[in-house]
Amino acid sequence: MTISANGQKYEVSKIKVNKKKKTFRINKLSGADKAVTKAVKKLTKGSKGVSFEVYAYNVSSNDAVSCKFNKSGDLKKVMITLNGKKYKAKKTEYDYTADTKTIVFKGDNLAGSYIVK
């Protein structure tokens, strides 16, 4: 993320996130002097924080999804590769239908469906 201050552009290198209020404060700028960094930090503090919104990731059959089943054939674990990192889906984030071999994702983090191959 870059911001403009005093006619120059700076890269944001550190932020502090408030998950409850869904805001963040800019704590550090790359290449900026202390005065500019302090001013930007003050402008984005508390109720003046920059708001953000998080959308659920839409999982499809094109995504790298790995599933593990127990001996009786019940779905035990679902792992999704996102940006090169593995994310273990919580059991409350999906429903599995054995007849159609389909995992339907639900909740705040994941959406969509995946057909087990």
**What pLDDT digit, counting tens, does each position of 64-97 carry?**
999 999 998 889 999 999 888 999 999 999 999 9
pLDDT score, position 16? 95
Q: Residue 44 is encoded by which pair of tokens?
A: 């984005």
For residues 101 and 89, what is the distance between their CA atoms, to the nearest angstrom? 17
Phi, psi of 52 (to 5 degrees): -145, 160
User: Residue 109's pLDDT is what?
Assistant: 87
Distance separating the N- and C-terminal Cα atoms of the chain: 39
Q: How far apart are CA 20 and CA 72, in angstroms?
A: 41
What are the residue ranges spanned by the domains of the chain?
2-51, 57-115
Q: How far apart are CA 59 and CA 110, in angstroms?
A: 7
Per-residue DSSP letter, 107? S
pLDDT of residue 90: 92
CA angle 97, 113, 75 (to 5 degrees): 40
Q: What pLDDT, on a 0 to 100 scale, did the predictor assign at position 79?
A: 94
Which residue positions in the chain have pLDDT lower than 50?
A: none
